[in-house]
């Protein structure tokens, strides 16, 4: 018996990419002279996109497994969905941090 369909494993891969995108981008800015930490903000939409893809693939696998008689991708799809949600939450918190940084820069430049 298989342990999950293609959509379930795709959701896990997309979820891991979503969760790992921001930390990897931040880590890689430490070794570059031309990129600053603020440039890692360009990865926020990528992380959110991968999270959304993970959730949609998990939903498709859940729908497929509910129609078929086998119950092979439910747990794997659940892991992918959780990883997608965590990735979207990380992207949202990075967006809030970027907004607070911009607000502080604006207030600090007015004085």
Domain containing residue 67: 6-109
- At 70 the pLDDT is 63
In-domain check, residue 1: no
Low-confidence ranges of the chain (pLDDT < 50): 1
Q: Cβ neighbours of residue 8 under 8 Å, at least 6 residues apart?
A: 57, 58, 61, 73, 74, 76, 77, 80
- At 6 the pLDDT is 87
- At 71 the pLDDT is 60
- At 1 the pLDDT is 40
**Structure tokens, 17:** 């990419």
Rounded to whole angstroms, the Cα distance separating 64 from 70 reads 10
| Biggest distance spanned by C-alpha atoms of the chain | 67
In-domain check, residue 66: yes
pTM for the complete prediction? 0.86
Structural domains in the chain (count): 1
């Amino acid at each position: 018996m298989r342990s999950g369909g293609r959509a379930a494993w795709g959701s896990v891969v997309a979820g891991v990419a979503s969760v790992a995108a921001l930390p990897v981008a931040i880590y890689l800015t430490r070794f570059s002279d031309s990129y600053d930490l603020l440039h890692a903000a360009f990865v926020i939409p990528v992380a959110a996109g991968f999270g959304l893809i993970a959730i949609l693939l998990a939903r498709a696998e859940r729908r497929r497994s509910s129609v078929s008689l086998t119950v092979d991708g439910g747990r794997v799809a659940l892991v992918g969905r959780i990883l997608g949600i965590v990735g979207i939450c990380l992207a949202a918190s990075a967006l809030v941090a970027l907004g607070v940084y911009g607000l502080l820069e604006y207030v600090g430049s007015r004085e």
